Structure 1
Amino acid sequence: MNVSDAISLYLTHKRSLGHRFLTEENVLRAFRKAVSDRPMNGIEAADVLVFLNGKGGPVTEYWAKKYHVLSGFYRFALSRGLVTQSSLPRRIPLQTAPEFVPYIYSDDELRRLFAACAAACPGRCHLEGDVMRAVLILLYGAALRLGEALSLTIADVDLSESLLQVRETKFFKSRVVAMGRDLTGVMSDYLALRRNRHSTLEASPFFCCRDGGPIPRHMMQAAFRRARDFAGIDRDGGSRRQPRLHDLRHSGVVHRVVAWYRRGDNVQDLLPKLATYLGHVDLHGTQRYLTMTPDLLREASLRFEHYAMEAHHA
């Protein structure tokens, strides 16, 4: 059996089990392109290694991701008799590139980023600056994923109740997301502008391009990079380690937890609710978002010191 047919079988199998498998599909398509569509048994270990190593730079998280995807693929192929042996390398090199750490935007950087949206979307751009600004504020304020925000329709946004209906997300689950007063106000202002430009049919995209159509993910990402440059937001480590659009979600989560600490809230009790709000299946996914910024470390230390003092005097 050829590589493309084996990949199709594997994807069908995984999706029948309820997995979305979009990132994995992209990895497998890239693998098929790298080794060409030839018989599975004709792929040598050297061919797989060339795909894993890419351009021969440091071993990154993406190297490990590709290896993990191919491991599952080859286990499936072996169990179905599609290959007689795995072509994966037996020795896995240590990751030499530092692990990516999400960027947590400061309040000042957020203001500069939102203000730069107009410059990032000039008149010739299919994406309007005020639309982009509304998307970025929602990503931060409601801690949404980009795909979730761009998939919203008019019917999904209930401003009278300050609620968003987020449908068929990363884990095939839908959820209701509450918005605060300020965020609801920003979305109300945006919708008032939108009504003057485009259709307000319930099935229409809530965020749309100048022509009224949905905003492609790549368009938003390119505009974000321009806005980030205009705002002067960067960090050391080269182009691959620059602040990302997805880091707005990380920032929203971290800032919310810091606020809980400062108010004296019971953070441990609130974390499961935060996991549900974010659409995570368990707390493990949420914990990855809690990057230890100086503010978060300081507030957590103050809380621990408070408890320690109470225990000492008990």
Structure 2
Amino acid sequence: MVMKTTMTQHVDAYLAERSMLGFNVGGPDARLLRSFASFADEQDRGTLTNDLVIHCVKDRSSIGNPFTWAGRLAVVKPFAVYMTRLDPATEFPETQIFGKSRRRLTPHIYTDDEILGLMAAARALEPQGALRPVVFEALIGLIAATGLRISEAINLRCCDVDLKANCLTVRMTKFCKSRHVPFHRSVANALASYVQIRERFVRLEHEQAFLTIAGGQSLNKRTVHGVFQRLRRSAGIVPRGSYSNVRIHDLRHTFICRRLERWQAEGCDIDNAIAALATYVGHAKVSDTYWYMTGIPDLMAIAGSRFEDFTSGEDIHV
């Protein structure tokens, strides 16, 4: 008697083939596929069908969350393509029945008072008189003033921060690129104050983490996110975006939006300005920066107003 190949065995073979081709087959996508295969085997389905895929995606996901379902479908789709080579009867939903799997959610855009409130909450962290409150205040202020990613900020070394030239060097960041990030003199003054306090606890060494706790260790990203949630609660900040809580990454979004708002108000050449901004913040594609013009209500209101003026015959430089 010939044993039927299970869906779990098909998934294992698929992942092995992907691995041989040089793809990373670990992580949540592989776990999702194995979960899907287990579900299919429990249903005793020998063939991939539309009904099976949809049933599994909705059963193994948050109830009533089409965005999550769409993401799960996107993971299963390449496996379905693989299965068509083995079983011509394989089916997979052809349309985006749950919408797009990758959608940008509107971030929280901080007011100046909210940023000041976060920094004040950081100063109040315990233990008072230690390095911890100072480094978290410096971290929040630096991201708010430069739009750095959290990973870029905590990975800065002392040699990457030039307070005389008012410039940071961000090395091998998200897209394996390095870039220079100039900053305002007021930022240099604030960082210089941080360095003075830092030197009371940790000697300034060339290759050492710039933002550090006592002992010279780098800040841990998970710890930073945890502390930040305490700070936003202390500051009484209520989310205004699409996320359930405000995030430290929203400081980066705020930096980009405020700069675009200023340029819009000043009548700058937005195309040239956005190209420069995309380079400054390290976006891989300028379209990632253009998204803010359509993804943030305040910017859409400004753009809409300027377009209305344009269509009414006023002389506007866009």
Which TM class, normalised by the smaller chain length?
0.7 to 0.9
One-letter code aligned to 1:235: P
Answer whether contact 1:116 1:230 (CA < 8 A) is retained: yes
Per the TM alignment, residue 35 of structure 1 is displaced from its structure 2 partner at its CA by 5.6
Say whether the 8 Å CA contact 1:100–1:241 is kept in structure 2: no
> Counterparts in 2 of 1:267-306, with a 5 A limit?
267-290=270-293, 291-294=295-298, 297-298=301-302, 301=305, 305=309
CA contact (8 A) 1:4 1:37 kept: no
TM-superposed deviation, 1:308? 4.7
Report the secondary structure of 2:181's partner residue: strand
Q: State the alpha-carbon separation in 2 of the partners of residues 297 and 66 from structure 1.
A: 34
Q: Distance in 2 between matches of 1:206 and 1:142?
A: 16
The number of residues matched between the two structures is 298
1:247 to 246, 250, 254: 250
Alignment partner, residue 63 of structure 1: 69
1:234 and 1:279 mapped to 2: Cα distance?
29
In the TM superposition, residue 220 of structure 1 has moved relative to its aligned partner by: 0.7
Write the mapping of 1:125-164 to structure 2, written as runs, cut at 5 A.
Answer: 128-164=132-168
Which stretch of the first structure deviates more once superposed, 303-312 or 244-253?
303-312
| Corresponding residue for residue 29 of structure 2 | 28
Q: Does the Cα contact within 8 Å between 2:156 and 2:211 map onto a contact in 1?
A: yes
Residue aligning to 2:113 = 108
Bigger Cα Rg: 2
Structure 2: give runs of 5+ residues left out of the alignment. 1-8
What does residue 235 of structure 1 align with? 239
Equivalent residue number for residue 18 of structure 1: none
**Which stretches in structure 1 are left out of the alignment for 5+ residues?**
16-20
What TM-score comes out, normalization by structure 1 length? 0.76
Instruction: Tell me what 2:5 maps to.
Output: none
Task: Give a deviation string over 1:275-296, Cα, whole Å, max 9, x none.
Answer: 1112112221112234434376
Q: Cα distance, 1:217 vs. partner? A: 1.1
Q: Do the aligned partners of 1:261 and 1:303 also contact (CA within 8 Å) in 2?
A: no
Moved more, 247-256 or 62-71: 62-71
Question: What letter matches 2:121 in structure 1?
Answer: A
Alignment correspondent of 2:6 = none
Identity of aligned residues (%): 24
In the TM superposition, what is the alpha-carbon distance from 1:130 to its structure 2 partner? 1.6
Residue 300 and residue 236 in structure 1: after superposition, are their counterparts in 2 closer, same or farther (change >3 A)? closer
The 8 Å contact of residues 258 and 296 in structure 1, kept in 2 or not, is answered as no
Over 3 Å counting, the alpha-carbon distance change for 1:159 and 1:311 in structure 2 is: closer
SS state at 1:165 partner:
strand
Secondary structure of the residue aligned to 1:220 is: helix
Per-residue Cα deviation, 1:204-230 (whole angstroms, up to 9, x for no partner): 111123332121211111111111101
Flag the 1:307–1:93 CA change in 2: closer, same or farther, 3 A.
closer
2:214 is the alignment partner of 1:210: yes
